[in-house]
Chain A
Amino acid sequence: MLTSALVAGCAAWLLAAVLHFAFVQKYILLGEAYETGAAVHYAGVVPADGHADAGHSHDEPAAEGHSHDEGAAAHDHGDAGAVSTGTRTLWTTVFFGLVYVAYALILVAGFGLARAYGKIITAREGLLWGIAGFASFQLVPAMGLAPELPGTLAADLGARQVWWWGTVAATAVGLGLLGYGRSLMATALAVVLLAVPHLVGAPELDGFSGVAPPEVAGAFSARVLGTGLAVWALMGWVAGHVWARTPDNAA
């Protein structure tokens, strides 16, 4: 069981790191350039409503009960600017490993649960489970909390984390019931679980105060989700493949 998770987690780690540095990292850096004022959206154009310091509209919302007393900008960019690119790349790579091995452990724990109920998992089921995992952990939470470009202001962190975990749990259980449930009741419960997080709605701010161009934020979100799908699909397929070849699980 552990072998399947570790092999799949490591395969996912490798692909995640490669795809991240190929497609995503440049948007993070670009977002930070706008956040710190190194780059200015609509450079030279002063908005009519007196937001002359639009680049730093951070201060107001950050002060109103947001957990970052120093304001979002002071918070990470001091550090991000201070560390070398090499160190930053290293930590990013290490944390991709941790996150995807953690995802793989959860995924394979799901395989174990399926086995306990007599379900057989092969590479094909693994692929479907991987896509469902992507939906549960990334795509569906992104419906309420789109992947944030650095510099984007958002509602209270604690409230967003609660919504995130609730949505992940409800979506994963909902998809599992939809896939393996046998009764009308199970299907109905699945539909309710899938819908509830969106009826409740994710915490959000009243206004918008992003300093980066919408094109950058849009491209960033789309690439985060696209690369996430690729990595999860690979992870599920590999996990299913290794799982089906482990003697105890094949029968």
Chain B
Amino acid sequence: MTTTTISTRASDKTTALLSVLGMAMLGLAILFAAGHAQSATLHDAAHDVRHATGFPCH
């Protein structure tokens, strides 16, 4: 009984940490694409925002 509870908790925590990780990765990926990727099209469209958020732009 106790064992079941503990393992359920442990797997809840794993699930929670995985969703945290997924969300953080998604945020970082968007941030990289919008703020740091050097494709010319992305750079030109994002130009003013990159300057105005202090990203190293060009």
Given contacts A112-B20, A116-B13, contact A105 B53 (CB under 8 A): no
Task: Check B38 for interface membership: any CB of A closer than 8 A.
Answer: yes
Interface size, A (range): 35 or more
How many B residues have CB within 8 A of the partner chain?
35
Residues of A within 8 A of B58 (CB): 68, 72, 75-76, 157
Task: Check B1 for interface membership: any CB of A closer than 8 A.
Answer: no
The answer to whether B54 and A141 touch across the interface, beta carbons within 8 angstroms, is yes
B contact patch SS: helix
A213 to chain B, nearest CB (A): 17
Q: Which listed residue, A1, A99, A108, A142, touches B49 by the CB 8 Å rule?
A: A99
The answer to whether A109 and B48 touch across the interface, beta carbons within 8 angstroms, is no
**How many angstroms from the CA of A145 to the CA of B33 in the assembled complex?**
20
Q: Which listed residue, B47, B51, B54, B57, touches A228 by the CB 8 Å rule?
A: B54
The answer to whether A102 and B44 touch across the interface, beta carbons within 8 angstroms, is no
Residues of A within 8 A of B30 (CB): 98-99, 101-102, 105
**How many angstroms from the CA of A150 to the CA of B52 in the assembled complex?**
10
* Interfacial residues of chain B within 6-56, with CB under 8 A of chain A in the complex: 13, 16-17, 19-21, 23-24, 26-31, 33-36, 38, 43-56
The answer to whether B56 and A106 touch across the interface, beta carbons within 8 angstroms, is no
Task: Check A113 for interface membership: any CB of B closer than 8 A.
Answer: yes
The answer to whether A95 and B46 touch across the interface, beta carbons within 8 angstroms, is yes
B58 to chain A, nearest CB (A): 6
Nearest opposing residue in chain A for B16, CB measure: A116
Contact with B along A3-42 (1 / 0, CB 8 A): 0010000000000000010001100100000000000000
**How many angstroms from the CA of A137 to the CA of B17 in the assembled complex?**
23
Given contacts A113-B17, A116-B13, contact A106 B24 (CB under 8 A): yes
The answer to whether B52 and A112 touch across the interface, beta carbons within 8 angstroms, is no
The answer to whether A149 and B56 touch across the interface, beta carbons within 8 angstroms, is no
A contact patch SS: helix
B55 to chain A, nearest CB (A): 7
Residues of B within 8 A of A67 (CB): 38
**How many angstroms from the CA of A142 to the CA of B53 in the assembled complex?**
10
Contact with B along A136-177 (1 / 0, CB 8 A): 011001100111111000100100110010000000000000
Given contacts A5-B23, A105-B23, contact A98 B34 (CB under 8 A): yes
Across the A-B interface, give the 7 residue pairs with the lowest CB-CB distance, nearest first.
Answer: A105-B27, A102-B30, A160-B56, A109-B24, A106-B27, A112-B20, A95-B49
In the complex, besides A116-B16, A145-B56, 15 extra interface pairs with C-beta distance below 8 angstroms are A24-B52, A72-B58, A76-B58, A92-B48, A99-B30, A99-B31, A102-B29, A105-B23, A106-B27, A145-B54, A147-B53, A154-B56, A161-B36, A164-B56, A224-B52
**Residue ranges of B at the interface with A (Cβ–Cβ < 8 Å):** 13, 16-17, 19-21, 23-24, 26-31, 33-36, 38, 43-58
